[in-house]
Copies of this chain bind each other. A is one copy, B any other.
C-alpha cells in the first residue's frame, strides 16, 4: 500500500488542439497546461505520473495501453472521439485489465451533447467514468485511480 501509484495519462484525437478548438465547449487551457496541472496534483495524492501521451493515431494509443502493463498501475484516459467507435481501443483496455486499471475522463459532459457522444464503446472496459469538469476531470481521474488501485491492492 506504501509504494506510489503509477499513472499513465493518455489523450486521444484532437486533444493537442486544446485551447484553440471550440473554447466554448472545451475551455481555454492548452494540453500543456492540463498536463502541468496533473503533474502538480499527482504527488498530493501519492501518484507518480509515468508519462503524458497524446496521439491522433488510434494504433499509437493501443500500443501505449499495451506498454502500460510494464510501467503503470492505472491509465487516466480521455479517448476523444475514439470513445464513440474504437472497439480496438476498448479491447486494448480489456487486454491489460485488471493489472492496469483504466479511468475514462472527458472534459465536457458528453451525456449532454450530440447523440453520438452519449455512447462510449470504451466505458464497459473501464473502472469508471468522469465527465464534464474540464481539466478538473483529469485531476479527479487521478484521485479515482488511487481509490481503485488501493482497493485492489488491499484485496
Q: Interface of A with B (CB < 8 Å)?
A: 12-14, 16-17, 20-22, 55-60, 62-63, 66, 80-82, 84-88, 90-92, 94-96, 109, 111-112, 116, 118, 120-121, 123-134, 136-137, 140, 143-144, 147-148, 151
Residues of B within 8 Å of A84, CB to CB, are: 87
Number of copies: 12
Interface centre among A57, A87, A128 (most CB of B within 10 A): A128
Q: Is the interface of A mostly helix, strand, loop or mixed?
A: helix
Asked whether, in the complex, the Cβ of A95 is within 8 Å of the Cβ of B17, the reply is yes
Residues of B within 8 Å of A148, CB to CB, are: 133
CA distance A118 to B87 in the complex (A): 13
Asked whether, in the complex, the Cβ of B129 is within 8 Å of the Cβ of A147, the reply is no
Q: Which residue on B lies nearest to A135, using beta carbons?
A: B147
Q: Which residue on B lies nearest to A112, using beta carbons?
A: B124
Asked whether, in the complex, the Cβ of B116 is within 8 Å of the Cβ of A121, the reply is yes
CA distance A129 to B106 in the complex (A): 10
**Min distance, Cβ A8 to any Cβ of chain B, angstroms:** 16
CA distance A96 to B143 in the complex (A): 29
